Structure 1
Amino acid sequence: MYYRLNVRPNPNMSASHFWQTVIYKLIHDNECLIIKSDSDDLLIADDFTRIEYGLVEDLFQGVTVKNFTFQRTFRMGEVVYLEYDNERLSKLIDGLFTDYGSLIGRLFEFQKHKNQIRATVDMEGVNAKDPRTQERLQNFINRMYQSIKEKAFAIVPQQKGFTYNEQSLSTQGASVEEINKITNGFLDQVARALGIPIALVHGEMADVEKATRNFMTFCIDPFLKKIKDELDGKFIAKKDYLAGTKVDIRRISYSNLFDLATAIDKLVSSGTFTRNEVREEAGHERSDDPNLDKFIITKNYQKANELEGGENE
């Protein structure tokens, strides 16, 4: 199970891709179903039907993984079922996409209209009603426009009875900066719904450590808590869990150990934590050395009456 959860859940997915897909479905669909095949592979269901009961286990039927549909029925105790409990998120994203999409599209139309090149053609002594004359005139205008569009320096030949005048357009429309503000507003709404600090979304470097800590606390940790509780309940028996066997999920550590060295020394030397406990909090595995499970304390933390009579062992 350790190999399945951390290295290769199934033949077609790595562990990182697997959990990324789980979180995506959990946010987008508000739920995610993971089943175990006969070969002990962990598979993410693309479609299923849940039959809920009040006093017995719920059932899952019509479980489909890509192009394969299981004919059997899965019980709740046989699967890993995660719920996000944020049903309004999908509606929020869909609503924002519709509203902001329409608004951004409108702003793009204004921007194109504002920067559009317009010109007029005056004709004198030309029979505009003659089809051949109209065709030759239109071909000339097309070639002239193509030359102006593609070349940085274009020369327009003067024709008798034919005058080309380019008109400047002064229509006030939205600027590119305003369009960017609208786009950022959409991202900000979604980020707030997920608990992601706005500063991280926009790449701001001020107080990045504080923003990262808030991101881990309010966005990442709730997902890890849901996954941990479900894995504990499905993969570990009740008696083993009460005896201390639990699933351990470590989030990504963003701190430099050298920056934490002084704090680690104080935690260990004061006898507050063992060295193995500190290793776990720092995101590393426990050591098999039994000495690292012992509490140690330096002489600086001894009682005053012990120091008055001299040093003690």
Structure 2
Amino acid sequence: MGLLDFVKNRNKELEYMFDFDLIDGTSEKIHMKKLAIQICVDMIARTISQSDFRIKNGKEIIKDELYYRLNVRPNKNQTASTFWQQLVHKLIKENEVLVIKTDDDDLLIADAFTRAEYALYEDNFKDVVVKNFEFKRTFKMSEVLYLEYTNEKLTTLLDSLYTDYGELFGKIIEFQKRKGQIRGLVDVEAILEKNEKGQEKLQNYINKIYKAFSEKSVAIVPQQKGFKLEESKQSQQNHPVEEVNKVTDGFLYQVANALGIPIALLKGEMADVEKQTRNYMNFCIGPFIKKIKDEGDAKFIEKADFLKGKRMDIRKISYNNIFDVATSVDKLRSSGVMNGNELREELGLEREDDPMLEKYVMTKNYSESVEGGEK
């Protein structure tokens, strides 16, 4: 068992890197799963954190205390980008996130809470904990921002998939650890003491030998009577480490599919990158933005004001170069489909108080023809 302990310790660093318990044959550790989820969730969180959150009353953007909280400083200890990244992380990983408002108008993300659900009344949230502070009061649904992602936690949905990938991953890592391994065989004649003390002396001697072999570039071992040491190196087979990366990437791509992230973006492929980015913004980021917008409309805006045109508006990060779409912008303006300020909004720019930008213009090529000559 001493030799087995030596081999295990020798590969301790590799075992830690992949976090797999190879002795038991099954894995209870989740580094591969956590890494895949972290990569995908970070990508979504970084994208959403670059959005601009604002309240609009018709065409007017209301820049007040709420605007400052949503885009600059939600609370005393966080910037807006950090706040939104944390919100997205908790929403995806834990399936839900609760944001409360303090008496100082700070927006805080709850670390833990208990939800009491009712059929005909507002749900209540109690035992709300933020960092190490527990609120003694009970929050009503109308007083908080509460977002849900799906019906089950993402990690729960991936558990069955992870079991299959984990078994395959563990077998590949186990094989890689055996490949090229040097194994020692020790023949001992029956001249040593046949008791516990003799066995201990022999084991200590063997440990010293292998320690010298593993730590020194040149190791000289004196031969002992009745003691013979042989080493055998396992044959190299064509099972490269790339197989480990393939399994890891396969699991990562399955997580990305579950979240709606195009695989090509994770791979860094440049072919059709604009199309892949558009799909990512529409089918992955879009639903998250819609959840935040719907909750903001319900909690930040009164019903009467909403019916009059007051809305929460979230401007996503633009992935188009303004110069690449210049021709299309010109066509939309010259055909009278959109005015200048509407185009500025679509490009992510602020509206300008210029009467000319509010006009719909049409060039001669788009004007109605007059029979019998030019107008």
- Common fold, TM-score beyond 0.5? yes
Distance, in Å, in 1 between the alignment partners of 2:264 and 2:122 is 44
Q: Does 1:111 align with 2:176?
A: yes
* Higher mean C-alpha deviation, range 112-121 or range 89-98: 89-98
What is residue 92 of structure 1 aligned with on the other side? 157
SS in 2 for 1:167: strand
Specify whether residues 297 and 158 from structure 1 end up closer, same or farther in structure 2 by C-alpha distance, changes over 3 A only.
same
Unaligned ranges ≥5, structure 1: none
SS in 2 for 1:115: coil
SS in 2 for 1:50: strand
Q: Which has the larger radius of gyration?
A: 1
Give 1:155-166 correspondences, 5 Å limit. 156=220, 159=223, 164-166=229-231
Q: Does 1:255 align with 2:320?
A: yes
Give the percent of matched residue pairs that are identical in Structure 1 and Structure 2: 59
Q: Does 1:8 align with 2:73?
A: yes
Contact 1:110 1:173 in 2 (8 A): no
Q: Does 1:27 align with 2:96?
A: no
Once the two structures are superposed, residues 256-284 of structure 1 have per-residue CA deviations (whole angstroms, 9 ceiling, x without a partner) of: 11111111111111111112111111222
TM (norm. structure 1) is 0.87
TM (norm. structure 2) is 0.73
Distance, in Å, in 2 between the alignment partners of 1:165 and 1:139 is 17
Distance, in Å, in 2 between the alignment partners of 1:40 and 1:160 is 81
Q: Does 1:36 align with 2:78?
A: no
- The count of corresponding residues between Structure 1 and Structure 2 is 308
Compute the displacement of 1:157 (Å): 5.7
What is residue 270 of structure 1 aligned with on the other side? 335
Distance, in Å, in 2 between the alignment partners of 1:118 and 1:183 is 29
Distance, in Å, in 2 between the alignment partners of 1:143 and 1:88 is 51
What is residue 111 of structure 2 aligned with on the other side? 46
Q: Which amino acid aligns with 2:144?
A: V
Contact 2:92 2:153 in 1 (8 A): no
Contact 1:4 1:10 in 2 (8 A): yes
Specify whether residues 282 and 167 from structure 1 end up closer, same or farther in structure 2 by C-alpha distance, changes over 3 A only.
same
Compute the displacement of 1:173 (Å): 8.7
What is residue 290 of structure 1 aligned with on the other side? 355
Once the two structures are superposed, residues 96-136 of structure 1 have per-residue CA deviations (whole angstroms, 9 ceiling, x without a partner) of: 44543444233322211223111334568x94448999888
Contact 1:114 1:173 in 2 (8 A): no
Give 1:50-89 correspondences, 5 Å limit. 50-87=115-152, 89=154
Specify whether residues 295 and 72 from structure 1 end up closer, same or farther in structure 2 by C-alpha distance, changes over 3 A only.
same
Distance, in Å, in 2 between the alignment partners of 1:202 and 1:158 is 55
Contact 1:127 1:133 in 2 (8 A): no
SS in 2 for 1:87: coil
SS in 1 for 2:311: coil
Distance, in Å, in 2 between the alignment partners of 1:280 and 1:48 is 39
Q: Which amino acid aligns with 1:59?
A: N
Distance, in Å, in 2 between the alignment partners of 1:184 and 1:22 is 26
Specify whether residues 142 and 48 from structure 1 end up closer, same or farther in structure 2 by C-alpha distance, changes over 3 A only.
closer
* Higher mean C-alpha deviation, range 74-83 or range 215-224: 74-83
Distance, in Å, in 1 between the alignment partners of 2:337 and 2:327 is 14
Once the two structures are superposed, residues 172-212 of structure 1 have per-residue CA deviations (whole angstroms, 9 ceiling, x without a partner) of: 69541221111112111111111111112222222222211
RMSD (CA atoms): 2.7
Specify whether residues 290 and 230 from structure 1 end up closer, same or farther in structure 2 by C-alpha distance, changes over 3 A only.
farther
* Higher mean C-alpha deviation, range 136-145 or range 73-82: 136-145
Specify whether residues 108 and 296 from structure 1 end up closer, same or farther in structure 2 by C-alpha distance, changes over 3 A only.
same
Distance, in Å, in 1 between the alignment partners of 2:104 and 2:153 is 37
* Aligned with 1:154 (options 215, 218, 221): 218
What is residue 214 of structure 1 aligned with on the other side? 279
Higher relative contact order structure (alpha carbons within 8 Å, sequence separation ≥ 6): 2
Contact 2:339 2:358 in 1 (8 A): yes
* Aligned with 1:205 (options 264, 270, 277): 270
* Aligned with 1:188 (options 242, 248, 253): 253
Compute the displacement of 1:213 (Å): 1.1
Specify whether residues 229 and 135 from structure 1 end up closer, same or farther in structure 2 by C-alpha distance, changes over 3 A only.
closer
Specify whether residues 76 and 88 from structure 1 end up closer, same or farther in structure 2 by C-alpha distance, changes over 3 A only.
closer
